[in-house]
Amino acid sequence: MADWRRYILQHFTEPVYRLTLVADPDGLLLEEQLLAEIRARGFALLPFEDAVAFRYAYESSYRQRWDDDLPTDLVVILRSPQASLQTLPYDLLQTGRTLHFSLPELFPKLSYPVVNALDPAYLQALYEACQSYHGPEMGDQATKVFVLKHVFGVMPELIRTPADLLKLLLSRHLRAHVVPPTLDEMLLETLRQNPALSGWSLKELMADANKFFAFLQNHWFDYLAAQQPPEQRLKEARPYYGPGEVLPLDEPEVRSYLSTLFLEGRLKAVPMPEGWQVAEWAQIGVAQEPEAEGALRFGRLLKRLLETLPSSDASHKDWLGFADRWAELVILRHRHAEGLGADALDQYTALHLEIETRFATWMLTRYHTLHNQPHLPRPVMLHQVPDYMATYRQGHPKARLALVVVDSLALDQWHIIRDVWAEESQTWHLQDDSLFAWVPTLTSISRQVAFAGTTPQFFPGSWGTTDQEAGRWRRFWADHGLPSSAVGYVRNLGTKHVVDSSFDLAEHPLHKIPLEPSVLAVVEDQRMQAVGLVINTVDEIGHGMQLGTAGMHQQVRLWVMKVRYLTKLIAKLLDEGFVVFLTADHGNVWARGIGRPNEGVLVEKRGQRARVYTDPAYSALAREQVEAIEWTNVGLPEGLEVLLATGLSAFLGKDDQAICHGGIALEEVIVPFVQITDSKQLGVS
């Protein structure tokens, strides 16, 4: 099989050069499989994007090593299309060899603007297709048709019926395809010419997965109604679409997609009136007795996850998608534990251990390809969120922006919050995604990057504290044109609103507790354009949790439903004209103790799943006492040594258990990233 990466990798073999300067105007070296291979060959990659930041990293991490005659194979990457390698510092040009890689070299017969709009993840499919193409050079239109067909499997002329369109939309959104706007414009132009599709909100349904899934949810009951005899339908007061308007959801391929959506929780089963009958395939979308429905979904989803567990060379998008499905299974396992058989629970436990083993292997080889990924179309890592918000503000200059960091909110706990809001019929629009926290997943490191907008290596003096967050948040926005008076920050929110199952809600109506005055002072101040808020409730719940994951789920649900603090905060922000970006600094996991290293005061940062040292001798001493993962310090301040607990273990007393964070479990690393807008807002959402 032809592989475009070989064209580049041939330049990263022996003899090894101490310094290589690469002009990469099209971001080819951002592709994570290529990045992983280059790193595996011993090269360190350093982008030249900001001259000051580059000089700091270069001098602190590489220049000194060269002066000491230590081996270092550094690749400096210049990605700016407007700049040439001659703009790099003179001392680099005098020392390094130069290389240049670009899309026209790989795809000489295709239109450059069209190919340049593609995510690098799609280049392999396009490269393979080009190997069998021997025709003339293509213009823009021909290239768009070629890319749609060979990369996304779409031939616009074959989409003639609503069923064809449904299959297109289901395939796109379930596979999370990122289709460039220029391709969508051409596709939309073709589809709009078809009278059979004239009633569809094509642009909206193609662009937004959440709106498409909501569209399907709204039509599911109407489809079920249309399958009933007239005498059964007429018993219901609810109107339904006539047979000519009901979506063709029983097409075989459409049915398969729908089953997956119900299984993964993206569509919710609906209650069915007494006397109605549906086909066997549609039963998954019909509400049943909760325990029976939960056990059925658990078994089917468990089977699916066993079949789709990502491999060691999977992409980060594969793991993000898998983590979302795993979060749903975690909820089902603990909500319906009593109705699940011993065999099913054993399979779940075995799968959980296999997930953590395989994800840890992936993290050790691939995680360090992520921090230089672009922050568009959506951020990949937590430190990219401020850049994403700043870019959003450029396109929506009147929008006020709020970053809400829910300390320690794991993806499964976010699903619980999202489901409560759906039950309450909140009218907010959620653009629901996830991203990678920073490792070690300690608050002082991973939360700080969320407000600093940079990697931890650039705050070597404060990696162990959160006291600098407000200043770094204001500094980021100052660099993007906002004065200090327009930037707000408040932390330690929600800590007075932690409840447990013994709390008497009748005696203490917590839903009447107002938001803190410090929050109101910031969000009601019309000068504020960018606000950072830290909610500590979930972290507080976790620290006192004795009932494991099930207890966390119960308490988070109680907090959202009864206290309603987060709901009130989001509602207030939206009422004040903010667009809200909700995320977490890290997640959490229920872990079992393997013993505490006997370190005295030798450890700089002592966590239940992570230990941070500034002296290699102390790190080595700890490794002699407990089994641990030696984490690389790529992106971390120079001189730090990090040990992480393996699997689902923790640096606790032998067999003690607790809700923990700091390590590289799937539940700790992949966290929610949700953009929330008020559906009534015009010109902002």
Confidence of residue 498 (pLDDT cuts 50, 70, 90): low
Neighbours of 39 (CB within 10 A): 19
- Mean of per-residue pLDDT scores for the chain: 89
The whole-number average pLDDT for the span 249-256 is 93
Confidence of residue 684 (pLDDT cuts 50, 70, 90): very low
Confidence of residue 600 (pLDDT cuts 50, 70, 90): low
pLDDT tens for each residue of 607-656: 799 999 888 888 888 888 888 999 988 889 988 999 999 999 999 999 99
Q: Per DSSP, what are the bridge partners of residue 671? A: 435
Question: What's the gap between Cα 185 and its chain centre?
Answer: 27
pLDDT tens for each residue of 324-343: 999 999 999 999 988 899 99
Which of 199-213, 238-252, 347-361, 508-522 is predicted most confidently?
Answer: 347-361
Q: How far apart are CA 44 and CA 73, in angstroms?
A: 6
Using CB atoms within 10 Å of the CB of residue 374, give its burial: 0 to 12 exposed, 13 to 18 middle, 19+ buried: middle
Give the pLDDT of residue 685.
36
| Model confidence at 438: pLDDT above 90 | yes
Using CB atoms within 10 Å of the CB of residue 30, give its burial: 0 to 12 exposed, 13 to 18 middle, 19+ buried: buried
Give the pLDDT of residue 558.
93
Tokens 């996304």 map to which residue? 152
Confidence of residue 657 (pLDDT cuts 50, 70, 90): very high
Token digits for 328? Answer: 């749903």
Q: How far apart are CA 650 and CA 644, in angstroms?
A: 9
Give the pLDDT of residue 338.
87
Q: How far apart are CA 249 and CA 258, in angstroms?
A: 8
| Model confidence at 190: pLDDT above 60 | yes
Q: What is the pTM of this model?
A: 0.90
Give Cβ neighbours of residue 416 (< 8 Å, ≥ 6 apart).
331, 553, 556, 557, 560
Confidence of residue 241 (pLDDT cuts 50, 70, 90): very low
Give the pLDDT of residue 336.
93
% of the chain exceeding 70 in pLDDT: 92
**Is the Cβ–Cβ distance between 84 and 55 less than 8 Å?**
no
Neighbours of 20 (CB within 10 A): 20
pLDDT tens for each residue of 140-184: 999 999 999 999 999 999 999 999 999 999 999 998 899 999 999
pLDDT tens for each residue of 31-86: 989 988 998 888 888 888 877 778 877 777 777 666 666 667 888 888 887 778 88
The whole-number average pLDDT for the span 489-494 is 95
- For 587, phi then psi, to 5°, come to -100, -150
The whole-number average pLDDT for the span 428-444 is 95
Give Cβ neighbours of residue 175 (< 8 Å, ≥ 6 apart).
none
Q: Which long-range contacts link 485-488 to residues 24+ away (Cβ below 8 Å)?
A: 485/527, 486/527, 486/528, 486/529, 486/530, 487/528, 487/529, 487/530, 487/531, 487/532, 488/522, 488/523, 488/525, 488/528, 488/530, 488/531, 488/532
- For 285, phi then psi, to 5°, come to -100, 15
Of 390, 586, 379, nearest in space to 487 by CA: 390
Give the pLDDT of residue 220.
93
Q: How far apart are CA 536 and CA 498, in angstroms?
A: 10
**Is the Cβ–Cβ distance between 579 and 402 less than 8 Å?**
yes
Give the pLDDT of residue 511.
55
% of the chain exceeding 90 in pLDDT: 64
Confidence of residue 425 (pLDDT cuts 50, 70, 90): confident
Q: How far apart are CA 27 and CA 212, in angstroms?
A: 31
What is the separation, in whole angstroms, between the first and last Cα of the chain? 44
Give the pLDDT of residue 69.
64
Q: How far apart are CA 555 and CA 75, in angstroms?
A: 49
Give the pLDDT of residue 1.
59
Residue 55 host element (H or E) = helix 51-58
Of 529, 527, 520, nearest in space to 477 by CA: 529
Which of 174-178, 464-468, 546-550, 569-573 is predicted most confidently?
Answer: 569-573
| Model confidence at 18: pLDDT above 90 | no
Give the pLDDT of residue 506.
52
Confidence of residue 226 (pLDDT cuts 50, 70, 90): confident
| Model confidence at 604: pLDDT above 60 | no
Give Cβ neighbours of residue 218 (< 8 Å, ≥ 6 apart).
none
Using CB atoms within 10 Å of the CB of residue 669, give its burial: 0 to 12 exposed, 13 to 18 middle, 19+ buried: buried
- Burial pattern 575-612, b for ≥16 Cβ within 10 A else e, equals ebebbbbbbbbbbbbbbbbbbbbebeebbbbebbbbbb
Neighbours of 461 (CB within 10 A): 8
Give the pLDDT of residue 237.
44
C-alpha distances (whole Å) from 545 to each of 199, 353, 540, 589 are 52, 22, 9, 11
Confidence of residue 605 (pLDDT cuts 50, 70, 90): low
